[in-house]
Structure 1
Amino acid sequence: MQFLRKMAVAVTLAVSLVAPLAARAETVKVTDVLGREVEVKAPVERIILGEGRQIYFVATLDKDDPFKRIVGWRDDLPKADPDNYKAYLARYPDIAKLPTFGGMKEGSFDVEQAIALKPDVLFMNIESKVASDEAKLIEKLAAVGIPVVYVDFRERPFENTEPSMRLIGKLFGEEEKAEEFIAFRAAEIARVTDRLKGAKVDQPLVMIERAGGYSDDCCMSFGRENFGKMVEIAGGRNLAADLIPGTFGVVNPEQIVAANPDVVIVTGGNWDAYVPGGAWVGLGPGTDLAEARRKLANLTQRPAFAHTAAIGNGRVHAIWHQFYNSPYQFVAIQAIAGWLHPDLFKDVDADATLKTLHERFLPLPYKPGYWVSLEKVQ
């Protein structure tokens, strides 16, 4: 009898230990931003990031340890955003050991490696959908029980950021934290849009150049989405809105000269890994702003910009490129609104907003360096 009682106690204890784990892991059905219904065992504990810069959204939900779920990621962060990568590496040195992947669109994503890592889910950006379909990625991973979920902060960020964050929050078991971030983002955007509703202001014409100086070509820009939409939300007119049918495209130098923009904004980043010593404007946490300003001034000497009203009036700015590919677009909107309507938004401090974002949601301390402006030519 004593033996049987001990066995009963042991079984009860085992059940009590296993039950919480069983309760935690359940299959949930979610709808990704492409409208696909996907079944995932959640909360997820092992994820692969189809793009390294997806750490931007992971960090907002897993502030204490943003890498605790990541078992592999694409290799783009050290090249596209080396300043943030170095900051994460200094705090979480084990990320140097994380398995890395090439890009789906480049055809260098290793499916076999992904399967071997046994992830609960693979996050992919929607711009990789065509390449994923061609490689039959979803079918190959589904055959071994690995779901693929698409998110988007780049192609249509003002349509897809909120549902993407809610989806990720559900899969992480962090719904409340996701809603907290969504509310913060919405409130910071409303600080701009609500004030513009009651104001009688002109809408300056803005030429926003994507990655100016990255190549010798002129000039990549944005249509009605992404930074193009940010300009409109901030109370400006996007020069390329009617010239670029999609999110991304090119504006000819002659079109810029003819339009004569009131404001020029260039997106920039530290791209030494891609274009060593290039003419790009290096921006990001802790950047050398004097050097960034010098390089921005050099870009204004190109024929497309040299004689525009923006240059003559000193309304030339550069902003961190990665706002275009993260859930942090609201900070860029505030910065742009301040440039377009300085009197109306003199009390809206985008720098303070970015600092608050770091304090409330991100594991890294805030360092300035995300934008720079030129002075008026005398």
Structure 2
Amino acid sequence: MRNNLTTIPILTIILIVFLIFSVSGCVTKGGTGDQAKTITVTDMAGRSVTLKYPVESLVLMDSTCTAEFSSVYGEGFDSKIIGWDNNLRDNSGDIYEKYVEKYPAMAEIPDVGSLDDNTFNVEKVVALNPDVVIMHDWEFMWDGEATKEALARLDQAGIPVVFLDFYMDPLTNSTKSMQLLGKITGKEQRAQEIVDYYDEKVNSIYSRLEKVQGKKPTVYIECAYKGPDTYGISYGDVAWGAIVKKAGGDNIAEPILLNKSKVLSSEYLVNQSPDIIILTGRNWSTPGSLRMGYTSTLDVTKSTMTPFVNRPGWDTINAVENQNVYGIYHGYCTDIFNFVALEAFAKWFYPEEFKDVDPAETLKEYHRKFMPIDYSGTLVYNYY
């Protein structure tokens, strides 16, 4: 009898302990109990990557991706970026100023260097010990060998790398990239809200383009980074060129460049005499470059665009003769705002069919809904 009496409490204790562990040991994203939670994703380069879930610290190897990350993550995003390159500060100083003005601590984020100028410091990244390094597919095209070397060294150090894509196939992969950001940070619902907004805007443009009849306008688009004396790169069926095609334009660069981004000769441009010219501007420090962005006024944008319009031979081009020269913020070539570029291009290509579309208002709305900084400046521009 004594043995039975002592056995009952022991069995009860075992049952209670079992129930406690059953409740607390639920499997979540590849982790159990006290083990570190992980998630495995396929990134935009087609790589299978396993990393900590949710990501709490990251290094941005294109700091202009701050717009996407801050939109997806929301409150507290600034404390999660523990390292980045100098792209935001040097090429988008206007946006950098807006972020730092509101989040002063961002001025102290360590610069880990860049792949495109061989300043990338792997040791510095390893010392920061981020949960993930964010890179972009375009880095394979522009900085292929440096990117492969960086990947090998980061892999050796046990630091995962996730690739996004807002450039190679922008109007297809941008939403996928946003969902990927949401997935690794545990902000999937917020990311989906952005994707839904994006899809609503682009699908509206696509459905209206299907009804447009007649010949497509021929289009030339140039990165106005170097100033009017030196022609900047144009785009085949990639980046800006891909958006031109989706907006119903006939890109004069595509037959020559295919899916590359290179400079076209002035002779070719003048001989082609496109119907539309689009120049991309930014807050570049290069003398003579087209100035656009959050801190650029209409007067500044016009005064810096005029020397381009006055290039030799341009007075004979259809776009200039018919006053169809436009400017757009260059950052929209590599970020989520490419849907605004689609709106602007469709309006410029088919002004009657899209006369009710206002890309600037769309930008303001997106900022109100998703961005931590306010809309300002000149980001979409009609020269005439």
Is TM > 0.5 for Structure 1 vs Structure 2?
Answer: yes
Report if the CA contact (8 A) 1:105-1:131 is conserved: no
Q: Which of the residues 136, 145, 163 maps onto 1:131? A: 145
Residue number in structure 1 paired with 2:297: 288
Report if the CA contact (8 A) 2:118-2:146 is conserved: no
Rounded to whole Å, the distance in 1 between the matches of 2:320 and 2:85 is 39
How many residues align? The count is 360
In the TM superposition, residue 216 of structure 1 has moved relative to its aligned partner by 2.8
The residue matched to 1:195 in structure 2 has which SS?
helix
Rounded to whole Å, the distance in 2 between the matches of 1:63 and 1:227 is 28
The residue matched to 1:327 in structure 2 has which SS?
coil
Q: Which of the residues 214, 220, 228 maps onto 2:227? A: 214
In the TM superposition, residue 132 of structure 1 has moved relative to its aligned partner by 4.1
User: Any runs of at least 4 consecutive aligned residues in structure 1 with deviations exceeding 4 A, and if so which?
Assistant: 19-25
Residue number in structure 2 paired with 1:257: 270
Output one character per residue of 1:327-350: Cα deviation in whole Å (capped at 9) or x when no partner.
Answer: 110001111111111111111111
Rounded to whole Å, the distance in 2 between the matches of 1:372 and 1:64 is 32
Output one character per residue of 1:115-149: Cα deviation in whole Å (capped at 9) or x when no partner.
Answer: 111111111112334234552x3333233321111
Structure-1-length-normalised TM-score: 0.89
Structure-2-length-normalised TM-score: 0.87
Q: Which of the residues 145, 153, 172 maps onto 1:140? A: 153
User: Are the structure 2 counterparts of residues 107 and 190 from structure 1 closer, same or farther at C-alpha, using a change threshold of 3 Å?
Assistant: same
The residue matched to 2:267 in structure 1 has which SS?
helix
Rounded to whole Å, the distance in 1 between the matches of 2:267 and 2:232 is 10
In the TM superposition, residue 25 of structure 1 has moved relative to its aligned partner by 5.2
Identity %: 31
The residue matched to 1:100 in structure 2 has which SS?
coil
Report if the CA contact (8 A) 1:331-1:353 is conserved: yes
Q: Which of the residues 335, 354, 358 maps onto 1:326? A: 335
Report if the CA contact (8 A) 2:301-2:378 is conserved: no
The residue matched to 1:266 in structure 2 has which SS?
strand
Rounded to whole Å, the distance in 2 between the matches of 1:179 and 1:211 is 34
**Structure 1 residue runs without a partner (length 5+):** 1-11
Residue number in structure 2 paired with 1:364: 373
**Structure 2 residue runs without a partner (length 5+):** 1-19
Query: Please, what is the CA RMSD of the aligned residues?
Result: 2.6
Report if the CA contact (8 A) 1:221-1:251 is conserved: yes
In the TM superposition, residue 65 of structure 1 has moved relative to its aligned partner by 2.9
User: Do structure 1's residue 311 and structure 2's residue 320 form an aligned pair?
Assistant: yes
Report if the CA contact (8 A) 1:279-1:299 is conserved: no
In the TM superposition, residue 291 of structure 1 has moved relative to its aligned partner by 1.9
Residue number in structure 2 paired with 1:158: 171
Report if the CA contact (8 A) 1:27-1:39 is conserved: yes
Rounded to whole Å, the distance in 2 between the matches of 1:39 and 1:365 is 35
Report if the CA contact (8 A) 2:175-2:198 is conserved: no
Structure number, greater radius of gyration: 2
The residue matched to 1:39 in structure 2 has which SS?
strand
Output one character per residue of 1:227-269: Cα deviation in whole Å (capped at 9) or x when no partner.
Answer: 1121122221111111212231121111111111111110011
Report if the CA contact (8 A) 2:359-2:380 is conserved: no
User: Are the structure 2 counterparts of residues 201 and 353 from structure 1 closer, same or farther at C-alpha, using a change threshold of 3 Å?
Assistant: farther
Rounded to whole Å, the distance in 2 between the matches of 1:283 and 1:102 is 25
Output one character per residue of 1:265-307: Cα deviation in whole Å (capped at 9) or x when no partner.
Answer: 10011112xx1xx222110113121121122122111124221
Report if the CA contact (8 A) 1:49-1:123 is conserved: yes
